[in-house]
Amino acid sequence: MRLKKLNSEELIELLEIFFAEYDLIAPFKVEQGRLNRVLFRKIRQNNEIPSIYLKEMPETTPKNFILPRDERLDFERFNSEREENENSLARAKTRLFFGVRSCDLAAIELFDDVFLDEDYLDPFYESRREKNIFIGYSNQILPPNNFQKELEIGYFDHQLAPAFIYEDLEARGREHYWLKIKAGYQFSKDVEAHLDNLETGEIGNLEKLLNDWEDKFTGETDFEIKNKLPFPEKEVFNQVDWQEPTASCLGCGVCTYYCPTCFCFDFFWDGSTKNRAWDSCMFSLFTEHASGHNPREEQHQRWRQRLLHKFSYHPQNYNDKPGCVGCGRCIYKCPVNLDIRNVINAVDKTLVKGGQASEER
């Protein structure tokens, strides 16, 4: 493992080298009407780099690039172009996603489990996952409503990121960025040359800083899941009062569209070409059959499916890993403040009360 310390100017110089060598994608604060939104976007000009905005967790994630909101599934054209362009693909620039939170890296790992499964390989997803590098980011501000630690996702590292950058907001004006690079990982020659000129950091100092941040985060959240995942399917399906904690849901689907792990699609035809677009299990017609029968006519039934998918079905199929990364976006984006943690608590309490809890965590 290597550790470097950087000031703002040195970070910008590093990002300029990244921009020259990679398709650089990073978060920016964007004005949209009265709103200031933080969104990932591709950098097109060098002079955009100083405007990269890292302090707040972005609304969007790399999901928007790797699993786009809509796409054409023209297999014949895809396979033909892939074969013809093998050489050009090899020459194509690698995409470098800079400033990705650890919970969002965990979301990409979840997609990899689903879409790169050798029995159900999605070639469109596979093609977008080729040639990507992720550089993680954290500072001492816990994103609002975040509960990723309760889902056993660490704040300061992830296996998908060969490098992680930490920003000490209280030390601005000095070398307040720490760049940790995993042992054995090498960037390009020019990047490595720049890194060689940077000050080497003391690992003990970084560990103390991150321990202080983690203690601060622990003091800011009291959310707890008592039962071990996966939640028992039949008991949760039949015995939880789903109406009470989900009564305010409007069925707008905002939670699913901002969710970094939701991957339900609507498939449709445009002439002879199949297409897919993000869909939402919160929509009333999501499961309506061709016969007109709808097995989830009520909103609380759709919420039941959403919770069971993330905390029962997904962990059953993917080594106990939940289909949620605890980022908190669905909570602070919900127009009626419906908090998924309250729904999880309702499930937790029902299992404990009924004496049917799965093994306690």
pLDDT at 88 over 60: no
Q: What is the predicted pLDDT for the residue at 86?
A: 61
For the segment 273-288, the average pLDDT, to the nearest whole number, is 94
Is 339:216 a contact under the CB 8 Å cutoff? no
Q: What is the predicted pLDDT for the residue at 74?
A: 78
Residue spans of alpha helices (H) in the chain:
8-21, 63-66, 75-84, 86-91, 102-115, 123-129, 189-196, 203-220, 233-239, 243-246, 254-258, 299-308, 314-317, 329-333, 340-353
- Grade residue 102 by pLDDT with cuts at 50, 70 and 90: very high
pLDDT at 161 over 90: yes
pLDDT per residue as tens digits for the range 117-148: 989 999 999 999 998 999 999 999 999 999 99
Q: What is the predicted pLDDT for the residue at 291?
A: 94
Tell me the sheet residues that pair with 39: 28
What region does 156 belong to: left with phi over 0, alpha with psi -120 to 50, or beta? alpha
Q: Rounded to an integer, what distance in angstroms lies between the CA atom of residue 108 and that of residue 103?
A: 9
Q: What is the predicted pLDDT for the residue at 64?
A: 95
Q: What is the predicted pLDDT for the residue at 92?
A: 72
Q: What is the predicted pLDDT for the residue at 25?
A: 98
Is 177:165 a contact under the CB 8 Å cutoff? yes
202 three-class SS: coil
Higher pLDDT, 352 or 358: 352
For the segment 88-101, the average pLDDT, to the nearest whole number, is 83
